[in-house]
């Protein structure tokens, strides 16, 4: 009668293959979640841009205060909804907040592990976004 079952070598090879496949799957998943979480920052920057234009129409100047409720600020908050980005607004290309603005979302927490080009996202009063669309950060 012949013994049936797995040898230790067969079992070790199986564990090795499963380990390699798990490593590949985990790194792909992390990359996917970082890309998906960028929506938290890009969405808030677009919301800030819309709020700034509305504020400008009502006050003939842009706002630097994200937190205070209108009419003194935008009433949005200084972090993104999921807390993955810190948000700021400053004077834009003209150097004066009355005529231009640049909104910035800086990755924080787990999102700080994103690729270097996508850790800081900006949008200005002209609708120009950085990094550029070619980087894929805004998609």
- Residues 39-48: tens digit of each pLDDT: 999 999 999 9
What are the residue ranges spanned by the domains of the chain? 8-135
Statement: 8-135 belongs to CATH 1.10.3470: no
- CA angle, residues 129, 133, 136, in degrees to nearest 5: 120
Give the model confidence (pLDDT) of 75-84 as tens digits: 999 999 999 9
Owner of token pair 């550029």: 132
Q: If you count DSSP H runs as helices and E runs as strands, how many of each does the chain have, helices first?
A: 1, 4
Q: Going by DSSP bridges, is the β-strand pair 85-91/101-107 parallel, antiparallel, or unpaired?
A: antiparallel
- Whether pLDDT at 134 is above 80: no
């Amino acid at each position: 009668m012949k013994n049936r079952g797995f040898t230790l070598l067969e079992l070790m090879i199986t564990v090795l293959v499963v380990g390699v496949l798990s490593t590949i799957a985990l790194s792909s998943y992390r990359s996917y979640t970082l890309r998906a979480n960028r929506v938290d920052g890009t969405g808030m920057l677009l919301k800030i841009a819309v709020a700034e234009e509305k504020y400008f129409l009502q006050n003939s100047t842009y706002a630097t205060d994200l937190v205070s409720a209108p009419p003194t600020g935008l009433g949005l908050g200084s972090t993104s909804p999921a807390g993955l980005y810190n948000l700021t607004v400053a004077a834009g290309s003209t150097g004066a907040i009355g005529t231009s603005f640049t909104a910035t979302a800086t990755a924080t927490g787990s999102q700080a592990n994103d690729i270097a080009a996508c850790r800081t996202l900006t949008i200005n009063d002209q609708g120009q976004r950085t990094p550029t669309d070619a980087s894929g950060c805004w998609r």
